[in-house]
Every structure is written in structure tokens, then in C-alpha cells.
Amino acid sequence: QAEDGNIEYKLKLVNPSQYRFEHLVTQMKWRLQEGRGEAVYQIGVEDNGLLVGLSEEEMRASLKTLRRMAEKVGADITVLREREVDYDSDVPRKITEVLVRKVPDNQQFLDLRVAVLGNVDSGKSTLLGVLTQGELDNGRGRARLNLFRHLHEIQSGRTSSISFEILGFNSKGEVVNYSDSRTAEEICESSSKMITFIDLAGHHKYLKTTIFGLTSYCPDFAMLVVSANTGIAGTTREHLGLAMALKVPFFIVISKVDLCSKATVERTVKQLERILKQPGCNKLPLLVNSDDDAVTAAQQFAQSPNITPIFTLSSVSGENLDLLKVFLNILPPLTNSKEQEELMQQLTEFQVDEIYTVPEVGTVVGGTLSSGICREGENLVVGPTDDGKFLRLKVCSIQRNRSACRVLRAGQAATLALGPFDRSLLRKGMVMVSPEMNPTICSVFEAEIVLLFHATTFRKGFQVTVHVGNVRQTAIVEKIHGKDKLRTGEKAVVCFRFIKHPEYLKIGAKLLFREGVTKGIGHVTDLQAITTKENGLEESLGTGQLSF
């Protein structure tokens, strides 16, 4: 049994003494803190992992004690599954697995971001509509109407922008969605775990939007939706490749099983398994057929990224939808509390992904806080502008999942209101950092890349669109070290130069580039920094266009 982590093995908890009970409660607090508000107790298991099992009576007493412990720390418990053990005795013995969950003391509910990928017409938006609205689809696209953001999306039925949908789970593990709550605030208030789905576009035409969604919103997991009747077609392979290149753990949902025969569904599953087992993927497919499978899948999936759970479900008949909900309910966060605390101690850095103008509020930016802590009323600098400057601004208010929030912690997505700040000075790809950070910006940078596909040879002077986190800009290949040209599948260190304006980059950041059919991945290895001291902050204050 691991010391850290949120899984605890207990043989039995029958009538503990007061001193022992206090010790158990302290231990539960530690496990909950490790799992950021949730822990799994396996009762009937020895510390070394031996499955002993308990008789009916002992199990009842142990669960009663566990309930008392949970009440003491203010948590709820739900039995995930029971299993009988073949042990040398006449009495049937069982092990029980229990989920303990509480809203953390600082009211920061668990928030997981899941990006939704898949080919056009595979049923991504419909599945999200069914999960978040709580009513089944009518087979003609009723469930997805609430998700679309533009008129042309409703007319063509194709998602072209990135939309966010939320699904909550309360501390008892029940689904909280729009069927019983009217607003997003209500969902947030009654949930102890939130899942934010990032609905991406499936159509090839909108590939750049999909890449932007995957690189800038830093999803924890990806859900690849494959339609049972068409199988792996269109952009499915490409999306699969994107998730793997960006090292986002993914699971697969085969939708529309009500439309086709069992044999067709099996054929699609086999086709997927074959692709996942290929040397390039090296994944272990796990088909989920029961609640028990879903629990196993969620725990294994978070521990080893090689396992890929596969669900077969229908958004029209609702078949196996519950299994997906069980899976999402148990899915633990990727980072433990220790890693998050380390990030929070660094200086503030917020990535700008979206910019809006809201009447009576002023300019609002949406994005993710990648490190540090951001509070209301804090003074930050934003940049780089076209000429490489950083401008001062003040955070007036913060909203997270559509409800107001005083403090934003590392890894959380939110929108910040900036008051009367001029919107035209902002663009996607900027960062907001604390003034003492002295951020490095560059126009020229080097990256170690792998060319995934190119029709001819890739050489100096070639222009590609580079995606690094929330930065998206065209860059020119200045130099390929040690080679004149590159062919498909070759590795090299390449020097790129942004053509429009300098950007804020970090060494080690994952990089993706594309141009037509050319694609490549890599990471940033070296920056030729432009120091901000020369064009520093002082001048931008002298212009008088910024008010405090």
C-alpha cells in the first residue's frame, strides 16, 4: 500500500477504541487531502494487498465505523462495489470498496477538464447534451441545440467553435445537471466534483480551432467519440494522434449503438483495439460492460496512462450511459495536492485564451492560471504587445464556472474582468504575469521536432503555423541544424522565427506545427530572449492611456 495517494486498504474496522478511532479519522483526513477531496477505502484487504474478505456481520460493523469517521470529517460515503472472495471458509466473505468524498475546506471543488474529440457526425455534442441536460436525444439532434453558440452551427449541425459544458457530482456520487438545477451557479453550489467538457469541432475545416482547444485549455483527459456505424473515419485518427502527441490521456466512447446490429458494434470495437495495440500507440484497450468494469477502469486509467477504457453507448436509448457516469464520478484528478501546492508557490501566470467585452463590466479575458495564485484587485502586467511591451492592469473581479470567486489557484480556468482596459490592446496568446517576474519574450526560438508528415522535403524558408500552449502564430524556418532538409519521420533541431510579433514562450513547452498537410510535433529547447528592460513598463505608463 502506498503512503501517498488516496487509496487506503483496511482489513476491518470493528468497534475501535476511542484512541484508535481518532487515529483513523486523522488518517482519513490525510487521504482526502491527498486526493483533493476524495478517497477510496477498500475494506477486507490487508496492507500488503492480500484479499482476505470479511463476513457479513464484520462488514456491516466496519461500514458503520467508516460512516462515523466520515461524519466526523464532514464527508459522505458511497459503496462503489462489493465482491465475494474465494477463501478457505464455509462463510461467504466479501470485500467492499467505498468512495469517501467531501467538499474541501477551501470550497475549491474538484474540477476536471475533459476535451471531447472525434470525427464530424460522431455524436459529440449530442452526447454532451444528454449528459449535461439530463434528457435523452430524439435521434434528430434535439439534445445538442443548447450547446451551439452560432446560428450557422444550428443550421449545419456542425460545431465550429469551442463550447464549455459542465456536469457536477455531489458528495454522494449522484449526477447534478441542468435537469434539476436551473443555472450553472446552482450546479456549482450543489456539487463537490465538477467536470468541464470542452466541446471541440470534428470537421477538418475547423482543425486549427480543435488544436487550439487542446493546447491552450490544458485538458486533464480527452474523450474520443467514435460512431458505431461508421467506425474510424475522417479526422478520428488525426484527433487520436493529437491527443497522443500532447500526451493527454484519453478514453473512447462508441456512440450510436442503437442504430446498428451487435456485429457492427463488435467490428468497430475490434477495429479500435487493433489501432490501439499498434506499436505507435501501445495502449491496452479495456472494454467496459458493467459497473464493476467502470470502477476498475477509472482507477487503472488514472494510475497508468497506457490503459484506454472503451464504452459503447447510445444517446437516444440511453444504453450504458450510466457506466460512463460512474466512470466520470470516480475519475481521480491527475495531480495530487502536493504538485498543486508547488505550482501555487510560483509567481502568477495567466494564459489569455478568449477576450470579450461585457456591457457594464468592460473587458473580460478567459483562460487558465498556469501557476501561482490570483486574487481580486491584484495588479498584473499583460503582454507582449506587437512591439514587445508589457502593459499594467488590475484584476477587478474573477468568475469561475459562472459564479464569483475571490481567489484563483494554479491549474484552474476562469474569466477575469479588467474594467476599462482597452480591448484592442489584447489578443489571444498573451499572458498576464506578476510584475516582478520580468518575463522573457522572443521572436526567434529553437525546437527539437519530429516531422510527422510532409509531401516533399521540409527546408529553410518554409512557413508553418506554430501552436505552443495558447500561442498560435505563423513562423518561418530559419535554419535546420546539421541538415539541409527534412523528410517525413525525421528528427532535428530547427530554428523558427515568428513573422508578426514576439511571444512569451517557456523552454520545454510542447509544440505543434502544421501547414496544409504538413504536420509535426516537438518541444522548445532554446529561446533568443528580447529583454523587456529596454522597452520596459515605464514608457507605457507615461502615455496616459492607462488609468488605475
User: What is the pLDDT confidence band of residue 547, given thresholds at 50, 70 and 90?
Assistant: very low
Distance separating alpha carbons of residues 33 and 482, to the nearest angstrom: 50
Domains of the chain, by residue range, sit at 7-102, 110-334, 338-433, 441-529
d(Cα 199, Cα 184) in Å, to the nearest integer?
A: 17
Scanning 136-183, the segments in alpha helix (DSSP H) are: 151-156
Q: Closest Cα partner for 545 from 438, 430, 425, 431?
A: 425
The CA distances from residue 483 to 62, 262, 454, 487, 488, in Å, are 67, 53, 16, 11, 14
Write the CB contacts of 56 (distance below 8 Å, at least 6 apart in sequence).
Answer: 91, 92, 94
Give 415-472 pLDDT, tens digit per residue. 999 989 999 999 988 999 998 888 888 999 999 999 888 878 888 999 999 999 889 9
Tell me what percent of the chain is helix, strand and coil, each rounded to the nearest 5: 25, 35, 40
Q: Report the CATH superfamily, name and number, of domain 441-529.
A: Translation factors (2.40.30.10)
Furthest-apart CA atoms within the chain: distance in Å: 86
Grid cell at residue 527:
529561446
Of residues 232, 234, 233, 243, the one with CA closest to residue 210: 243
Instruction: Quote the pLDDT of residue 105.
Output: 62
Tell me the average pLDDT across 507-525: 89
Q: In the beta sheet, which residues pair with residue 447?
A: 494, 524
Beta bridge partners of 468: 471
> CA 303 to CA 215: how far, in whole Å?
23
Q: What is the pLDDT of residues 220-246, one digit of tens each?
A: 999 999 999 998 887 888 899 888 888
Q: What is the pLDDT of residues 243-289, one digit of tens each?
A: 888 889 999 999 999 999 999 999 999 999 999 998 888 899 999 99
Question: Structurally, what CATH architecture does the domain formed by 7-102 represent?
Answer: 2-Layer Sandwich (3.30)
pLDDT digits (tens, 9 = 90+) for 311-333: 999 999 999 999 999 999 988 88
pLDDT > 70 in the chain, percent:
94
pLDDT tens, 12-24?
899 899 999 999 9
Mean pLDDT of 408-420: 89
- pLDDT number for residue 4: 73
* Burial status of residue 106 (CB atoms within 10 A of its CB: 0-12, 13-18, 19 or more): exposed
Higher-pLDDT residue of 356, 149:
356
Query: What CATH number labels 110-334?
Result: 3.40.50.300
Q: What are phi and psi of 522, to 5 degrees?
A: 175, -160
- pLDDT band for 179, please (50, 70, 90 cuts): confident
Most confident of 31-40, 57-66, 120-129, 184-193: 57-66
Residue 436 CA to residue 199 CA, distance in Å, equals: 36
| CATH topology identical between 110-334 and 441-529 | no
**What is the pLDDT, as a whole number, of residue 108?**
66
Q: Exposure of 400 by Cβ count < 10 A (0-12 exposed, 13-18 middle, 19+ buried)?
A: buried
Pairing relationship of beta strands 250-255 and 307-312 according to DSSP bridges: parallel
519-545, pLDDT tens digit by residue?
Answer: 899 999 999 988 655 444 443 333 333
Mean pLDDT confidence for 67-88: 87
Q: Which CATH number fits domain 338-433: 3.30.413.10, 2.40.30.10, 3.30.70.890, 2.60.120.560?
A: 2.40.30.10
Predicted confidence band at 87 (pLDDT cuts at 50, 70, 90)?
low
Q: Does the pTM exceed 0.85?
A: no
pLDDT in tens, 375-394: 999 999 998 998 888 999 99
For 67: left if phi > 0, alpha if psi spans -120 to 50, otherwise beta; the answer is alpha
Give which of 393, 392, 435, 427 is closest to 502, Cα–Cα: 427
How sure is the predictor about 106, in pLDDT bands with cuts at 50, 70 and 90?
Answer: low
- Write the pLDDT tens digit of every residue in 197-210: 998 888 888 888 88
On whether the CB atoms of residues 515 and 464 are closer than 8 A, the answer is yes
Mean pLDDT score, 154-177: 82
What span, in angstroms and rounded, lies between the C-alpha atoms of 201 and 203?
A: 6
Distance CA 249, CA 271 (A): 20
| Confidence check: pLDDT of 303 > 90 | no
248, 319, 317: which is closest to 288 by C-alpha? 319
Using CA atoms in the order 297, 220, 268, 260, what is the torsion angle rounded to 10 degrees? Answer: 90
